[in-house]
Amino acid sequence: MVMVKGIGKGVLYAVIVTLLFILSFSFIVQMCGLANGVIKPVMQVVKVISIFIAVAIAIKSIKNQAWLFGGLIGLLYMVVTFLIFSMLDGKFVIDFTALSDLLFGVLAGVISAILLRLRNKDVEVV
C-alpha cells in the first residue's frame, strides 16, 4: 500500500511540475516569439525532469527492484499526461509518436531509478 501511495504521489507531483512548466514556457514562447522547433526538445527535457522527480519521490519506500517501479512510474506519467493533453486538444490519437513517447517515459523512469539507487548506495562500478 505504501508503494502505491508513493507512486501516486510521485506521478501527481510530476504532472503538476509539467503543467506549471508548460504554462510558464508557453508564456515565454508568446513573449519572445521562439521558433516552433524549440518546443519539442524542451518538452522532452521537461518530461525527463518530471519523471525523475516522480521516481525520486516514489522509490523512497521501495526496497527492491526500484528499476521496475521506475519504469512503471514513467509509463503512468506518460499515460496521465497523454490523457490530459488529449482532453485539452480535443482528440485522442494513438499513433507511432504516442507509442514512442510511452517507451521514452518507461526508459526515463528505469534510468532515473537506477541512477537514484546508485547515488544512494555505496556501489562500486567497475
pLDDT tens per residue across span 74-103:
999 999 999 998 998 888 888 898 899 999
Decide if 126 is inside a domain: no
Distances (CA, A) of 14 to 31, 101, 121, 122: 26, 16, 24, 28
| Domains of the chain: total | 1
pLDDT tier at 28 (50, 70, 90 boundaries)? confident
State percent of the chain over pLDDT 90: 45
The predicted structure's pLDDT at residue 89: 86
Full-model pTM: 0.86
Work out whether the CA dihedral 36, 38, 41, 43 comes out positive or negative. negative
Q: Which residue has the higher pLDDT, 106 or 119?
A: 106
| Cell representation of residue 5 | 501511495
pLDDT tens per residue across span 46-69:
999 999 999 998 888 777 888 899
Please state, in angstroms and rounded to a whole number, the distance separating the CA atoms of residues 9 and 61: 12
The pLDDT of 100-107, averaged and rounded, is 95
Q: Which domain holds residue 92?
A: 2-120
* In contact, 2 and 60? CB cutoff 8 Å: no
Decide if 125 is inside a domain: no
Decide if 8 is inside a domain: yes
